Structure 1
Amino acid sequence: MLFDSHTHVNFKDFDADRDAVIQRCLDADIWMINVGTDVAYSKKAIEIAHAYQEGVYASIGIHPVRDEISNGVHPNDLDDADFSAIENMAGDEKVVAIGETGLDYFRIVGDEVRAKEKQKELFMKHVELAKKLQKPLIIHCRDAHDDLIEILVSCFKFHVSGPRGVMHFFTGTREDAQKYLDLGFHLSFSGVLTFTHDYDELVRWAPLGKIVVETDAPFVAPMPYRGKRNEPSYVKYAAQRIADIKGLSLEEVAMQTTQSARELFMV
């Protein structure tokens, strides 16, 4: 069994064959979480999850930068109604996490200072919602680890119990990773491991019990599908690379990462 902790079968890329893609996974004993990046895609993730008794779940949230996803809509332009809609969906039984949320300073549009502050404000709303509902966070971070860690430390300093979450598509440093682990977060690795060795040492060092795997489909397909549409059934390639790097069997990595994901997301 494998568990794709972060995929987007709720995106339009899968409109033509969504059911077949999901069934392919379930037939192969692969479970998944479809992750929302705005209100519409969060609603779609929930709708999809309710079509399956088990194995397909939803996470809801607003991505820190949605330009490439939502026709140029930027978090600077969000109003309170957007997050209120997320709050109203968050209690659904199929919603197992809050996110995709976080900070992304790589693609800031317009006034840098204002954009960063708006991202921080939006992220903190997600964190407080997750804490309130005792649901884990799915966090996106790019070029913003120092600020993000500072926020997490302040938010969880006196919040000892309860789930933390996962650092999605983690590509930070070992020092960053240690800080997230110290806060109780998991690290998620993707198929990017199949075509670069940049993260081999990090994967080798990271405790297997704190690792989960993901595809981030439809993006970043692993070898041998690079350049094509990614899909959650390809999560096995990320798991195999982790096994190779750590000198373990695929079965051991699959078993541990699945157990970690199921415990984290309480499914």
Structure 2
Amino acid sequence: MKYFDTHTHVNFAAFKDDQSETIKRALDGNTWMINVGTQTDTSKLAVEVAKIYPEGVFAAIGLHPVHTYQQMLDEEESHFQSRTEVFVESDYEQMLTEKVVAVGECGLDYFRLPSDSDRESVIKKQKEEFVKQLHFAKKHKLPVIIHCRDAYADLLEILKSEYAGLQGVAHSFTDTWEIAKKFLDLGFYIALNGILTFDKTGKLAEVVANTPADRLLTETDAPYLTPPPYRGKRNEPSYVRYIVEKIAELNKVEPEEVAFQTFSNAKKLFNIR
């Protein structure tokens, strides 16, 4: 079986001591990956890492919404200070190579908005930087990798007005089938990760059941969101097989079928030969 982790961060500091070993472990297990940038430095590193490998390792470049203003963040298994950046088109154009297969992750994140008078200015800034990246993706004929948290109405409206008819993926999807369908209707794919394996709400099972097989993608979002049996430890691309197995279990099909389909889907969306 071949697997595709369409969203990982082996370019992050969590892998600084064993980056090459982690990637080798994935490739030896027939797992391909896209290392995703979240600001300038991690985007550059994603490209540098991808260049090392003749096959199976790709990059996405972009500015995550939490890096459009400074704040202290508590992600699962991670605590870090965000950086304040803007999306400078010329800087990102210098990163473009045949190894860059997407723009992102980009989008809107209203989960940690300030409660004071800065709230509206932060939302405005996130929207501005998101639109810049949509235009950049459109210009360079690249799909987008979308990060969205508590902001679906605004984000979908922006996609309709600024990115109509073009493709991308709703990364780390955790919402309802109703929201998933809105992305699908725009031509987007739905990506699922470790959250699927420990979701108790039943929402994601409904998403899996209703999303067409040719529009599903698998990802890890490593080093975060580790699935069982490694829960509580650092995630890595080779664990994407547990997402494949969970989708197969929910849809009552063989894992080989899900692996083949999601691998093919990734190659199609990201234009990988």
TM-score by length of structure 1 reads 0.93
Q: AA paired with 2:107?
A: G
AA aligned opposite 1:86: Y
Answering whether residue 92 of structure 2 is matched by residue 86 of structure 1, we say yes
| Per-residue deviation, 1:84 | 3.6
What corresponds to 1:232 in structure 2? 237
Secondary structure at the aligned position of 1:31 is classed as strand
User: 1:135 is matched with which residue?
Assistant: 142
For 1:41, the equivalent position in structure 2 comes to: 42
Distance between the aligned counterparts of 1:252 and 1:79, measured in 2?
42
User: Does 2:40 correspond to 1:56?
Assistant: no
Matched to 2:199, the amino acid is T
Summarize deviations over 1:232-254 as a string: whole Å, max 9, x none.
00000011100101111100000
- 1:197, distance to aligned residue in structure 2 (A): 3.3
Residues 83-105 of structure 1, C-alpha deviations (whole Å, 9 max, x = no match): 5422332x321110000100000
Gaps of 5+ in 2: 74-78
Q: State the match for 2:76 in structure 1.
A: none
Bigger mean CA deviation after superposition, 188-197 or 97-106: 188-197
User: In the alignment, is residue 153 of structure 1 matched against residue 160 of structure 2?
Assistant: yes
Query: CA offsets, 1:85-134, max 9 Å, x none?
Result: 22332x32111000010000001235111111100000001100111111
SS of the residue corresponding to residue 99 of structure 1 reads strand
Provide the C-alpha distance between the structure 1 equivalents of 2:222 and 2:194, rounded to a whole number of angstroms: 10
State the alpha-carbon separation in 2 of the partners of residues 188 and 72 from structure 1.
24
RMSD (CA atoms):
1.5
- The structure 1 segments of at least 4 consecutive aligned residues displaced by more than 4 Å after TM superposition are none
In 1, the alpha carbon distance for the partners of 2:29 and 2:178 equals: 36
Match for 1:118 among 104, 122, 125?
A: 125
SS in 2 for 1:65: helix
Query: TM-score, structure 2 length as denominator?
Result: 0.91
- In structure 2, distance between residues paired with 1:79 and 1:209: 35
What's the counterpart of residue 9 of structure 2? 8
Query: 2: distance between equivalents of 1:112 and 1:83?
Result: 26
**Partner residue of 2:22?**
21
Alignment of 1:71 onto 2:81: yes
CA 19–41 in structure 1, closer or farther in 2 if over 3 Å, else same:
same
Are 2:109 and 1:104 equivalent residues in the alignment?
yes
CA distance in 2, matches of 1:149, 1:116: 15
Percent identity of paired positions between Structure 1 and Structure 2: 49
